[in-house]
Structure 1
Amino acid sequence: MACHFVPAALTPAQVWEEVSGIATLLSRVDPLFAHWWAMPRSAADRYVPLDQRDEFIARVQADDARLAEEYPGQPSLGSNGVLVTNAGNDGDWSKRGGIGLSYRPESGMLRLHIDRVETVFASPGSLLQSTLVAMLKHLPISFAQTDVQQRVEDALLLYSVDRSPFRHRDFLGWMGYVAAPLTMEDVPAATRLERTGDGTLIVAAEVLDLADAFAIKRVNQVEMSLVDLELLRVTDPSLD
C-alpha cells in the first residue's frame, strides 16, 4: 500500500513524532501492529524500538548522515525518514508478516508492505481497509493505492505491471483513496465506497486474486471509471 501526501521537510525528532502517531493508530487495528522498531540497515545495526525516543531519533540522524555521505550531491531539505517493522529481530520478522512501514516525508510517501497477508491475517481485506482509514486520520493523504504480488502457476505477477489496464497512469489496485467525493454512480464496479474527509476510500474488490479473471475485470473497471473522472494521473506522457 502506498499513500501520497504533500512533501515536508522534517527533523529527525519530527519524524519520530509522526511515526509514533501513525503507530498509535495502527495499534488499534491489529495486535501485530502494537510495537514497532527501526529496521537495521546492515548486520552491524540493531533493531531500535520506537518507544525509545532518543535512541530512535539518533538512528534516524545516523541514517540521514550516512545517506548524505553516500550521495554528497543530492540536495536535502529535511530528514529522509525511516523504515520500521513490527518485529524486533530477524526470526520474528517473518512470523509476524514480514511487515515494513516506510515513512519518507521529503518525498511525500508512506508505504506499507506485508508478506503473505492472506496467511498471517484472518481477514486481509478488512485489515488493509482499517489500516488505510488509520493512515487517513493522521496524514493529509491525497492518493492511495494497493498493489498485489502473487505467484500464478510458474509466474510471479504484480497487479500494477501485469494486470492493470493502463501502463502510463497511476493504478488504484485492490483498494485506495482519491481526494474527491464519489458515489456508486461514479464508480459502479466498486465493491464499496466510504467517504473519508473530503475524499473517498474505494474498495475495488473484496479479494484481489491475480488468477481470478472476474476480480481483475472488476478492478480494471473501477480504474477505467477513475480515468473518466480524471482521478488517475498520467505517469508517462509519452504513452498517453
Structure 2
Amino acid sequence: MISAETRADVRKESLSLDAGYAKVDRLLRELESIAPELTNWHGGITTPDQDYVNFRDKTTMLERVQARIDAFKAQFPALPNADGFGLRLSSNSEKKRRPGLFELAYEPARGVVALDIHQPDVAFEERATTVVARALAAIAKLEDVQYAFVDVRDRVPDRPRPTTYRLSYATFPHRKAVGWMNFVPSAVTADQLPTAAELVPVPGKGTVIVAVGEAFSLTNKTHIKQANIVEMELADLDLLPVVDPSLR
C-alpha cells in the first residue's frame, strides 16, 4: 500500500485564525494519542523559498496562514469563504516520505478535511487497521462530518501507474465509495451490515464502518469484493450518498 487517504466532507465554515488553530490543535492531539510518535507537525509553506514552521509556534504559523489567505483572496476575489482558515501539515519536515508519515489538509472553508497516511501497513503492521480507523473516528468526533471514507492508493500489476480503490474498483460511479472503511452520520448495527469487518460507534456522531479488517490491498480480490458488498449494503440502507443523480 502506498497510502491510506481519508477524505471527510465537513460543514463549510469560514473560521477565524484563532478558532481554526484551536480546532487543528485538538485534532492533532487526538492523532498523537493514537500514534505517540506524531510529535513534530510542520507546515505553513506559502512560497518555494520558505522553511517549514513548527505548528506549536502559533504566532509564526498564523502569520503564514494569513499570508496564504491574502494570496488566495487576491487570486480568487469572488470565491465564497476565500478568507477562511486553511492549513496543511506533515508529521515531519523531511523531504522524503517515510512509512507512517501523516499529511493533514484542514480546509473547512472548502468543506474538506483530508488525512493521508503513507504506508500504514509498513509503519504499524498488524495495528494498521486500528490506527487508520481511530484516525477516522477522531475526525468524525471533532468535526461536523457529513460523510468520510478511506481510499487506498497502491500499485497493481496490470496498470502502468498507481491507482486507487475509488478510481478503479468502487461499485457505483454515481455514489461515494467505502474503500477500506468509511464514516456515516448514523447509528449502524451488525444486522444491517453483516459483511462489515467491524463497526465503531462515534458517540453522538455516527459509525465508522471497517469494510476489511486488515491492511487493504488492491491486489487482493477478496478485499475488493468485500468492500463492494459493503457499498451495496449501504446503498440499500440509503447511507451511501449519491454524487451524480444523472447516473441513477
- TM-score, normalised to structure 1, is 0.92
Cα distance in 1 between the residues matched to 2:76 and 2:140: 32
Matched with 1:134 is 138
Matched with 1:45 is 50
Of residues 174, 184, 208 in structure 1, which corresponds to 2:216? Answer: 208
Q: How many residues align?
A: 238
Cα distance in 1 between the residues matched to 2:116 and 2:244: 25
Matched with 2:154 is 150
Cα distance in 2 between the residues matched to 1:108 and 1:33: 25
Amino acid at match of 1:126: T
Matched with 2:128 is 124
Give matches, 1:68-107, under 5 Å: 68-76=73-81, 78-91=83-96, 94-95=97-98, 97-107=100-110
Cα distance in 2 between the residues matched to 1:136 and 1:34: 22
Cα distance in 2 between the residues matched to 1:6 and 1:74: 17
CA contact (8 A) 1:27 1:35 kept: no
Matched with 1:108 is 111
170-179 vs 74-83, greater mean Cα deviation: 74-83
**Which consecutive segments of 4 or more residues in structure 1 shift more than 4 A?**
none
Amino acid at match of 1:202: I
Of residues 32, 35, 58 in structure 1, which corresponds to 2:37? Answer: 32
Matched with 2:10 is 5
Deviations 1:176-222 (A, max 9, x none): 11111111111111001122224111100013211111111111110
CA 1:70–1:97 in structure 2 vs 1: closer, same or farther (change >3 Å)?
Answer: farther
Matched with 2:3 is none
Of residues 178, 181, 185 in structure 2, which corresponds to 1:175? Answer: 181
Of residues 161, 172, 184 in structure 2, which corresponds to 1:166? Answer: 172
After TM superposition, give the deviation of residue 102 of structure 1 in Å: 0.5
After TM superposition, give the deviation of residue 112 of structure 1 in Å: 0.3
Matched with 1:63 is 68
- TM-score, normalised to structure 2, is 0.90
CA contact (8 A) 2:10 2:146 kept: yes
Deviations 1:44-69 (A, max 9, x none): 12211111111111111000011112
CA contact (8 A) 2:149 2:181 kept: yes
Query: Identity percentage over the alignment?
Result: 27
Of residues 196, 212, 229 in structure 1, which corresponds to 2:237? Answer: 229
After TM superposition, give the deviation of residue 136 of structure 1 in Å: 2.5
After TM superposition, give the deviation of residue 108 of structure 1 in Å: 2.1
CA 1:42–1:98 in structure 2 vs 1: closer, same or farther (change >3 Å)?
Answer: farther
Which structure 2 segments of 5+ residues have no match?
1-5
Cα distance in 2 between the residues matched to 1:119 and 1:154: 23
Amino acid at match of 2:102: I
CA contact (8 A) 1:39 1:85 kept: no
RMSD over aligned Cα atoms: 1.7
Cα distance in 2 between the residues matched to 1:96 and 1:210: 18
Q: Helix, strand or coil for the counterpart of 1:194?
A: strand
After TM superposition, give the deviation of residue 148 of structure 1 in Å: 0.4
After TM superposition, give the deviation of residue 84 of structure 1 in Å: 0.7
Amino acid at match of 1:200: T
Amino acid at match of 1:66: A
Higher RCO (CA-CA < 8 Å; seq separation 6+): 2
Q: Helix, strand or coil for the counterpart of 2:140?
A: helix
